[in-house]
Structure 1
Amino acid sequence: MMSLPFFGIFLALALVMAGRRTASIVVFGASFVMLLVLFKLHATDPLNIAL
């Protein structure tokens, strides 16, 4: 699951190299939003610690 934003960033870089700037910006934005959503899910997950 965590690898999805990084695949998106790789795709955005590949699109830049192919000369498709607008598509690259859209893919990068979607990857960044996905990264923020995954961080929110991770940061608010309760810890299961039995002390």
Structure 2
Amino acid sequence: MMSLPFVLFACAVGAAWMRQRGVSMGFWALGLIAMLVLFRFHVTEVLMIQL
């Protein structure tokens, strides 16, 4: 799940290489949003550590 933003960023690079600027910016924006959402879930997750 945490690899999803990086896959989207790779798609953005591929689209930029194919000279599809609008598609590239869309993939980049989706990757950024996915990274922020996943980071938010990760930061607010409660760790259940039992000693």
- TM (norm. structure 1) is 0.93
In structure 1, the residue matched to 2:20 is: 20
Number of aligned residue pairs: 51
> What residue ranges of structure 1 are gaps of 5+ in the alignment?
none
Counterpart of 1:41 in 2: which secondary structure?
helix
Q: CA RMSD in A?
A: 0.8
Unaligned runs of 5+ in 2: none
Residue 50 of structure 1, CA deviation: 2.3
Taking the aligned partners of 2:42 and 2:35, their CA distance within structure 1 comes to 10
Structure 1 stretches of at least 4 aligned residues deviating more than 2 Å after TM superposition: none
**Cα distance in 2 between the residues matched to 1:19 and 1:38:** 29
CA distance in 2, matches of 1:21, 1:29: 12
Q: Please give the alpha-carbon distance, in whole angstroms, between the structure 1 residues aligned to 2:8 and 2:27.
A: 6
1:47 is displaced (CA, Å) by 1.1
